[in-house]
């Protein structure tokens, strides 16, 4: 089984940032978009990534959130049209929300993300107000799709699973019937610098780590901080629980020597986990950066 992992796509259509929509915390996000100016190439890079994945013998694709920037309706319409252009359904593609997809209270309350992308999370007969996590059994993999975004104050982007959702995650993991369990979340589990840790952390990450230590979850994948990252947590498994981020799939900055990324994870017959790391060049075309 080969799983492709993309994250933090941040697709922005032209004309979406209308002044009438840029109130409350959106004004801060719009300023950040203007300064960083890297979303203009996002759609090209996403399409390039999907082209590379289509030639890489992948069984399933997971996107760990932040398809949009400010949770504007036009952004969801645009991102949905891009995703639908790939012709995939829930058996081939899973998507969870990121903090930018829940950027304002109205988007979260109205479940805007779920209305557009719930069919990839739960299937064609989905309920946009269904509880997380969703679960999919795909061959020898149990994929648990969780939701970590909250509605924090301006300038903050922290998230939280909450005890009810966390309980359901580990119930599903305990009843996986021998499958490799993969947990997909948006927020990261590693420590960052003081400021970023205070503003963008997963608030219950210590509780999650403690419960992972008592579980047999094989792999946790996430996005959020736009950097590739890997660590191994002690758990019931002899090899531990691997925690991996591919970084942002669309981030392109020649000056910082950072380019779009995605990962491919493969569970071998002997249970070993192998990771392929793919990166784009300055023109947005992807190549295999590192194989196992």
Q: What order of strands is seen across the sheet that includes strand 141-145?
A: 134-138, 141-145, 180-184, 217-222, 241-246, 228-233
Q: Where are the domains of the chain?
A: 2-290
**Contact predicate 48/86, CB 8 Å:** no
Name the strand (E) or helix (H) holding 267.
Answer: strand 261-267
CA distance 49 to 47: 5
Residues 262 and 286 sit within 8 Å (Cβ to Cβ): yes
- Taking only the tens place, the pLDDT of each residue in 148-170 is 999 988 889 999 999 999 999 99
Question: Which of the following CATH numbers is that of domain 2-290: 3.60.21.10, 3.40.50.9100, 3.10.20.30, 3.40.1530.20?
Answer: 3.60.21.10
Q: Which tens digit of pLDDT belongs to each residue from 18-63? A: 766 676 777 667 666 655 666 668 999 999 999 999 999 999 999 9
- Strand-pairing partners, residue 141, are 138, 180
What confidence score (pLDDT) does residue 196 get? 86
pTM for the model stands at 0.94
Tokens of 131: 């509880």
Write phi, then psi, for 257 (nearest 5 degrees): 55, 40
**pLDDT confidence of residue 17:** 73
């Amino acid at each position: 089984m080969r799983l492709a992992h993309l994250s933090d796509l941040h697709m922005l259509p032209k004309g979406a940032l209308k002044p009438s929509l840029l109130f409350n915390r959106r004004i801060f996000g719009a300023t950040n978009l203007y300064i960083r100016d890297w979303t203009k190439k996002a759609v090209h890079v996403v399409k390039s990534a999907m082209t590379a994945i289509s030639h890489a013998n992948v069984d399933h694709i997971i996107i760990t959130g932040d398809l949009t920037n400010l949770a504007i309706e036009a952004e969801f319409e645009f991102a949905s049209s891009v995703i639908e252009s790939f012709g995939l359904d829930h058996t081939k593609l899973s998507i969870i929300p990121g903090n930018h997809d829940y950027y304002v209270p109205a988007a979260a309350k109205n479940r805007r993300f779920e209305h557009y992308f719930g069919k990839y999370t739960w299937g064609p007969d989905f309920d946009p107000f269904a509880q997380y996590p969703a679960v999919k059994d795909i061959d020898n993999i149990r994929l648990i799709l969780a939701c970590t975004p909250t509605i924090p104050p301006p300038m903050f982007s922290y998230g939280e699973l909450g005890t009810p959702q966390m309980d359901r995650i580990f119930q599903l993991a305990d009843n996986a019937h021998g499958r490799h369990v993969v947990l997909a979340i948006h927020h990261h589990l590693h420590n960052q610098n003081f400021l970023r840790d205070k503003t963008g952390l997963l608030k219950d990450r210590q509780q999650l780590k403690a419960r992972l230590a008592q579980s047999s979850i094989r792999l946790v994948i996430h996005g959020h901080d736009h950097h590739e990252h890997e660590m191994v947590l002690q758990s019931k498994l002899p090899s531990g629980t691997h925690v991996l981020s591919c970084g942002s799939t669309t981030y392109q900055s020649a000056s910082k020597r950072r380019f779009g990324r995605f990962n491919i994870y493969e569970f071998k017959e002997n249970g070993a986990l192998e990771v392929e790391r793919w990166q784009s060049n300055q023109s947005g075309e992807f190549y295999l950066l590192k194989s196992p």
